[in-house]
Amino acid sequence: MDSRGTSARGLRLVVFWLVVGVVALVDQATKAAVRQVVVPGGQPFVPGVLDLVLVENTGAAFSIGLGAGALFVLVALAVLACANVIVWRHADLPLPLVVAIGLVAGGGLGNMIDRVCKGSVTDFLATTFINFPVFNVADVCVTVGVAVAFVLYLAWDRRRGKGGEEDA
């Protein structure tokens, strides 16, 4: 492998872990702030759109798997490891795709920190215009990251197929 391949991998890993760290930090900071300021019963945040409502969730999305925190910690660790390997193995991975993968991994890490430290995940964003489960910053990052990564991966894979490039 040439030095450009190594530096491309290094750059992608730095970007990936930077995104993971920022997402986890912002997620944990917003959860801590909400635990300090949200009153019982909640309060409007964006009137008619979003309320702040403090909920401690021992499950996953939509409260699926209540009480299976240890399993979700293992899943989050597996996502972090797999994402790291994907970013490392593909030196030609576009940086926007690396960022999207980092959003997914960072969101997983943010919720994993809650599960390990508190035994539950703090959710606090409640939509008021539709009936939807309460969620948090990590959940938003995972959802957006998966959707964006899916689209970017398909485009990247199509370009690689047409160009005949091989993985490094």
Cβ distance 113 to 150 under 8 Å?
no
Structure tokens that stand for 139 in this block: 């959940």
Active site residue 123: yes
- Helix (H) / strand (E) element for 57: namely strand 50-57
Closest residue by Cα to residue 23 from 86, 122, 110, 135: 110
Cβ distance 136 to 122 under 8 Å?
yes
List the catalytic residue out of 27, 139, 157, 167.
Answer: 139
Distance CA 85, CA 95 (A): 15
Cβ distance 11 to 91 under 8 Å?
no
Active site residue 167: no
Distance CA 155, CA 40 (A): 46
List the catalytic residue out of 51, 114, 123, 157.
Answer: 123
Closest residue by Cα to residue 109 from 28, 3, 12: 28
Phi-psi bin for 42: left (phi > 0), alpha (psi -120 to 50), beta? left
Q: Which residues does the annotation mark as catalytic?
A: 123, 139
